[in-house]
Structure 1
Amino acid sequence: MKISAVIPAYNSAKFIRAAINSIQAQTSKVNEIIVVDDGSTDDTEQVVKEISSAIIYHKQSNQGPSAARNKGIELANGDWIAFLDADDQWTTDKIAKQIQTLQAYPQLHLLAGDMTEIDNDDQLITKSVLAKHHLLENFQHLAGKPIPNALAALVKKNFIPTGTVLVKRQTLLEAGMFNAEIRFGEDLELWAKIATHHPITCLPEILMLRRQHGNNATQANERILIDLAKVMGSIRCYAKQQLIEQSVNPDQLVAEAYWTLGYWHFNFGKRREAARAFAASLKQQFKLNSLVFFLSSFLPTPLISTIRAIKQQFAKPL
């Protein structure tokens, strides 16, 4: 078993040393570290080359993290790939725990795990993200076993942090790697492709410290929701039968994604965009609630405000 660690980096000089150090400090060593510099304009290259000449460093024009990870996968010599973002860190026994799990369940193609969130000063924000989303107990019960109906679980809530993943390189290649056309949710799309055909698991143990700061992509809500609708449509396209077998309605999956996007637009007064999203939701699956919001998108803003005020008044306890 040969493991390649892939780090996509963009203007990461401030944090990448800690990320690389966390890989080098593993109790079970990886075979190579690959840094794909995605067009940095700071001292990222200098910092990386100061750390070790053994690190494989590749610089390319800025194309986004998916393209950078894909390049790392292409450059890798390992038969297993582990990912880590340049501002995050692994716990020292991350790889060891995953190898131990693989020895118990060799049929696994992908292993993820829990993570802790920290701020820019390394102060604790969230001790366990799985616990935060009420998922920890279920994974504790599984204790590393392959997740039953993993695809259905993933489309309900993406429980796989990319920086905790250890995955077969060949499986990544067969799945088409990361979709560089999608900026948000491209990881969910890839994990769902893999879970459609292969056993995966998520360990109920902290494998990574994820740095949460203002530049994290997950804070761009509108673009996330737009891409989420694309991702759900993609998943339905390649895994429709598997979704049905796992008691998930594929059309409802896509319809709900468009409804959520429409509701976001509606709440922020973007009525034209809201109407388009609600229409897309209705096209996938008819629901009275979607129709009501679609029609409401054409009402004057003062009238909507009046209706909301009346609704809130009746909602107050007598």
Structure 2
Amino acid sequence: MSCQFVTVLIPTYNRSELLLATLASVFAQSRLPDEIVVINDGSTDDTLKRLSMLGDRVRVLTQENQGKSAALNLGLRHARDGLIWIVDDDDLMDPDALQTLVDLFGHDAGAEFVYGRHERFSVNPSGEIRRFDTGYWCECLPGEFLIATMEDMFVHQPGMLVRKSLYDRVGPFDISRARSQDYEMLIRLARSATVASTEDVVFLQRVHDGERGAGERAISSDQRDSKWVENDQSIFRNIYASFDLKEYIPPHMELTGPAALRYALLSRGEIMARKKLWDLAIADFGAARDVTTDPLSEAETRIVRRSLAGKYGCDEIITDRALMLALERLADGSRPGLQIVSSLALGLRWRVLNELRGGHMLKALALFLCMIKLRFAGAIRVKRDVRRTKLAD
């Protein structure tokens, strides 16, 4: 596998200085790529002038400004068969990144794409680099990667090396998406292929407050999270409608009948909750509750606890009274219903502690009150039912 042709694709728009730093980190690889292709997405700064100074070290493709997806599709059409390494124009690659990723294919001949870890960094006005930890990261078995990725994206393109044949098989990047196009593609890749991974850090992801996106699609930093949530929700409504329920069960779990159905419903519900698609999540939790009266397994309890752990928070349970009532109603007195709601409450403990550590006392208190309401929702509903029965008699 070490002799495989490796193409680096770098889409860029008006980031000439950052682009040169990224290219320098690619030029410094201990295992050099065979070709570096920069796709200039209609830049209006001095990007082309700077690239011309690099001579034949870089192949440049230029298109009118159409966005990252279109730029990557153009690059993929011109790339040779072999391995594709997509690098963002503002990140820095570890000197051994490519060698590390190529070696993973040698260790697992059946893998169609491989990935490694990243750390984050920022640069202060004096040019000093400050490194942070990875942020959200999930250690998982290859067979769990699709579900883990649907929960939250933790693998990024500069940390991945992908067979071009796999990109050809799953189809082009979605040009209709201004955000989350890499996430949507990652899910397609994960759904279609076997993966291999390393815990080694292979690139540094830049943290900055600049605009994201290109041209008319650019968004400011204060809009970033809301736009990501909006785009992720669009992706996952499509997934909810198109994925088979069995895809929410890891392949190594030998479940059949009602046990398989309930596990899949809880797993899908948890994923939809993390995307703030609560209408879908509550529908799945309610359906799971009614599949069987058997108590939830430890694995099912852990799934439900993760529902409120998405990286964009869960402030909506504080502000949306109707949502809290709907969650409380899941505890209808049946044992599975009580366990689902109790598990949601337990999942809030981390949120409360995290807000306390950050000094956000009012928010911690609001989340704590939500946790208490959910924790005792079952008992309250049982008392209400008993009271109604007595009044009826």
Asked if Structure 1 and Structure 2 have the same fold, meaning a TM-score greater than 0.5 normalized by the shorter chain, the answer is yes
Q: In the TM superposition, what is the alpha-carbon distance from 1:98 to its structure 2 partner?
A: 1.1
Tell me the CA shift for residue 255 of structure 1: 4.2
Question: For residue 232 of structure 2, what is the aligned residue in structure 1?
Answer: 228
Q: 1:90-134 CA distances to partner (integer Å, 9 max, x unpaired)? A: 1111111111111110111111211121113352241x31xx335
Answering whether residue 163 of structure 2 is matched by residue 159 of structure 1, we say no
In structure 2, the residue matched to 1:68 is 71
Structure 1: distance between partners of 2:167 and 2:35: 18
Looking at structure 2, the residues matched to 26 and 199 of structure 1 have their Cα atoms a distance apart, in angstroms, of 26
- Aligned residues of 1:32 and 1:55 also touching (Cα < 8 A): yes
Paired AA for residue 184 in structure 2 = E
> Is the 2:111–2:194 Cα contact (8 Å) retained in structure 1?
yes
Report the alpha carbon displacement of residue 294 of structure 1 after superposing the two structures with TM.
Answer: 8.8
Q: How does 1:73-84 map to 2 (within 5 A)?
A: 73-84=76-87
Asked if 1:259 corresponds to 2:276, the answer is: yes
Distance across 1 between alignment mates of 2:248 and 2:103? 33
Give the number of aligned pairs.
276
**Contact 2:11–2:41 (CA<8 Å) still a contact in 1?**
yes
Structure 1, unmatched stretches of 5+, are 140-145, 261-277, 297-307
The answer as to whether partners of 1:192 and 1:235 remain within 8 angstroms in 2 is no
Q: CA deviation at 1:39?
A: 1.1
Once residues 82 and 239 of structure 1 are traced to their aligned partners in structure 2, the CA distance between those partners, rounded to angstroms, is 28
Q: Taking structure 1 as reference, are residues 46 and 190 closer, same or farther at Cα in structure 2, changes over 3 Å only?
A: same
The answer for the alignment partner of 1:35 in structure 2 is: 38
How big is the shift at 1:155? 1.0
Q: Which runs of 4+ in 1 moved over 4 A?
A: 278-287
What does 1:198-237 align with in structure 2 at a 5 Å threshold? Answer: 198-215=193-210, 217=212, 220-237=224-241
Q: Deviations over 1:6-62 (max 9, x none)?
A: 000000111111111211211111110010011111001111111232421111111
- Asked if the contact 2:101–2:160 (Cα under 8 Å) also holds between the matched residues in 1, the reply is no
- Other-structure match for 1:181: 176
8 Å contact kept, 1:112–1:166: yes
C-alpha contact 2:105 2:111 (8 A) present in aligned 1? yes
Q: Secondary structure at the match of 2:243?
A: helix
Q: Which has the higher contact order (CA 8 A, sep 6+)?
A: 1
Q: Distance in 1 between matches of 2:158 and 2:144?
A: 23
CA contact (8 A) 2:81 2:165 kept: no
Q: CA RMSD in A?
A: 3.3
Change (3 A) 1:285 1:241: closer
8 Å CA contact 2:137, 2:154 repeated in 1: no
Return the alpha-carbon distance in structure 2 between the equivalents of residues 257 and 29 of structure 1.
Answer: 39
Q: Over alpha carbons, which structure has the higher Rg?
A: 2
SS of corresponding position for 1:36: strand
Matched residue of 1:236: which SS?
helix
User: Which deviates the most, 187-196 or 223-232?
Assistant: 187-196
- 1:14 is paired with a residue of what secondary structure? helix
Give the aligned partner of residue 91 of structure 1: 94
1:285 Cα deviation from its structure 2 partner: 6.4
Partner of 1:16: 19
